[in-house]
Structure 1
Amino acid sequence: MTLWSAVLLACIACMLLKLAGYLTPTHWLDKPRTARITDLLTVALLAALVATQTLASGQSIVLDARVPAVIVAAILLSVRAPFLLVVLAGAVTAALLRLWGLAA
């Protein structure tokens, strides 16, 4: 299988999944348990994505400038700082740590 055929198959799978969402009966989704599971699933997937992008480098776990940057961003989010400030503070934290040679 070539790269392009894999990309095409992934696109088709995504379209079918989206179509399945549109075709799902609304009474299945209106139940409180289903709504709670979908809300929690979204948070869990986002947390997994942040952890993977922060700690992973290839097949290994790496502690570098990204970890303190995410911690700074989390602290600013907890005090409800504007999102642009959160992103800038995280980027500046990582940049300064790399500049000073404290993290790779």
Structure 2
Amino acid sequence: MSTTPELLAATAVLAAGTFAFRLAGPALRSRVTLPPQAERLLNVAVVVLLAALVATSALTDAHSLTGPARPAGVAAGALCAWRKAPFLAVVLVAAATTALLRLLSVP
């Protein structure tokens, strides 16, 4: 088991590394140029990563599939977002849809 000073040192090193990575982006943006194809690929990668995160969060719970209530709530929220509703409305519609379905005993 690690001791408290070791944990504090590891936390400080990780915090410094995280800060350095975050600082490097804006600091090096003007010095590093990517080819247009790489920039397009990175833009697509961001969308794919966010879609995978939403799918994982919406469809699974503790390494098993959820019932239809949560995905239905996410779909309702996605529909509102697609229709350019305010963020608060998107969240409230998603939560209300899920809550209503669970109130109706839909898992």
Greater gyration radius:
2
1:62 is aligned to 2:77: no
TM-superposed CA distance for 1:27, in Å, is 5.1
Normalised by the size of structure 1, how large is the TM-score?
A: 0.73
- Superposition TM-score, scaled by structure 2 size: 0.72
Q: What are the ranges of 5 or more consecutive residues in structure 2 without an aligned counterpart?
A: none
The equivalences for 1:71-82 within 5 A come to: 71-82=75-86
Correspondences of 1:43-62 after superposition (within 5 Å): 43-62=47-66
The Cα shift of 1:96 comes to 0.7
Letter in 1 for 2:41: I
Q: In angstroms, what is the RMSD of aligned CA positions?
A: 2.7
Given that 1:66 and 1:94 are in contact with CA atoms closer than 8 Å, whether structure 2 keeps it comes out as yes
Percent of paired sites with the same residue: 35
Runs of at least 5 residues in structure 1 that lack an aligned partner in the other structure: none
Paired positions, count:
102
> How much has 1:80 moved relative to structure 2?
2.0
